[in-house]
């Protein structure tokens, strides 16, 4: 009964917020931006992989939210609606990038190995040593780079589950696919990401304190990968790099 009461209370509260947004309340829009701007930017960045494009796309998302609020009738949660707009805009930006921007040569290219994005610096303990901060940054950069090579639709499912920490049910609603399809995409995405990162971990793992995958016979490797996928599907934020 407690969970039901909480759910009813949450829906009532969201309905009140939506009503304020539809009425043009500046306070409600300030709340909306404070609540969703950072997570939406982080989601879009992981898809487009460019800070400037992510910032521009995030701005476009909130413009569409503001203009489209009068057409929002609560068919889904407010969060799902906003994330759906964000995914659509990020996909459009990514397609545009491959068609146009990828042909451009930057004036000041980022040096090889340099990591430009600092949006997650808040996750790093300020008491860490310079080496530890470098290690965190390098690993994040390697994961981001590998993530860009995971094919769609597995990449988006992986981002939503392991980085955005959405539940399977939320992802199912957001992407309009079944729970079984959600779980399948996440499992395949994790396997693809693990494959991309294994070589990197073998190379730098001992130096950065990462667990280095051990060589296994083909049969055991396959069974191990399946077991890792099952364990990983129960969720957490980490992306295991095992074989």
pLDDT at 116: 39
Q: What is the CATH number of domain 1-100?
A: 1.10.1740.10
Q: Is the pLDDT of residue 114 over 50?
A: no
Q: Is the pLDDT of residue 237 over 70?
A: no
pLDDT at 7: 46
User: Per residue in 149-159, pLDDT tens?
Assistant: 899 999 999 99
Q: What is the CATH number of domain 132-238?
A: 1.10.10.10
pLDDT at 171: 95
Report d(CA 197, CA 146) in Å as an integer: 7
Cβ atoms within 10 Å of 139's Cβ, excluding its own: 20
Q: Is the pLDDT of residue 111 over 60?
A: no
Domain ranges of the chain: 1-100, 132-238
Q: What is the mean pLDDT of residues 222-226?
A: 46
pLDDT at 8: 42
Report d(CA 135, CA 127) in Å as an integer: 14
Mean of all residue pLDDT scores within the chain: 74
Report d(CA 219, CA 215) in Å as an integer: 12
Q: What angle do CA 162, 144, 112 make, to 5 degrees?
A: 165
Q: What is the mean pLDDT of residues 35-51?
A: 92
What are the C-alpha distances in Å from 235 to residues 126, 170, 197, 213, 229?
Answer: 27, 14, 19, 20, 10
pLDDT at 191: 92
Least confident of 55-69, 116-130, 178-192: 116-130
Q: Name the band, by pLDDT with cuts 50, 70 and 90, for residue 102.
A: very low
What are the C-alpha distances in Å from 214 to residues 3, 15, 170, 211?
Answer: 44, 52, 35, 9
Report d(CA 136, CA 33) in Å as an integer: 28
pLDDT at 211: 64
Q: Is the pLDDT of residue 29 over 70?
A: yes
Per the model's pLDDT, the better-predicted residue between 70 and 125 turns out to be: 70
């Amino acid at each position: 009964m407690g969970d039901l009461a909480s759910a009813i209370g949450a829906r009532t509260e969201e309905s009140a917020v939506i009503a304020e947004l539809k009425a043009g309340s500046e306070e409600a829009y300030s709340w909306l931006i404070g609540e969703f701007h950072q997570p939406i930017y982080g989601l879009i960045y992981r898809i487009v992989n460019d800070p400037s494009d992510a910032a521009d796309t995030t701005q476009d998302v909130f413009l569409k939210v503001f203009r489209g609020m009068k057409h929002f009738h609560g068919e889904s949660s407010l969060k799902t609606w906003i994330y759906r707009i964000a995914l659509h805009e990020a996909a459009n930006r990514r397609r545009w990038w491959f068609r146009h921007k990828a042909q451009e040569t930057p004036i000041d290219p980022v040096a090889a190995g340099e990591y430009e994005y600092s949006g997650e610096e808040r996750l790093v303990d300020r008491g860490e040593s310079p080496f530890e901060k470098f290690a965190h940054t390098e690993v994040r950069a390697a994961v981001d780079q590998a993530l860009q090579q995971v094919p769609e639709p597995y990449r988006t499912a992986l981002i939503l589950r392991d980085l955005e920490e959405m539940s399977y049910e939320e992802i199912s609603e957001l992407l309009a696919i079944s729970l079984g399809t959600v779980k399948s995409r996440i499992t395949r995405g994790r396997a693809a990401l693990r494959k991309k990162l294994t070589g990197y971990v073998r190379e730098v793992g001992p130096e950065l304190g990462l667990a280095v995958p051990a060589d296994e016979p083909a049969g055991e490797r396959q069974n191990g990968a399946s077991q890792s996928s099952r364990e990983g599907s129960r969720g957490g934020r980490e992306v295991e790099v095992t074989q």
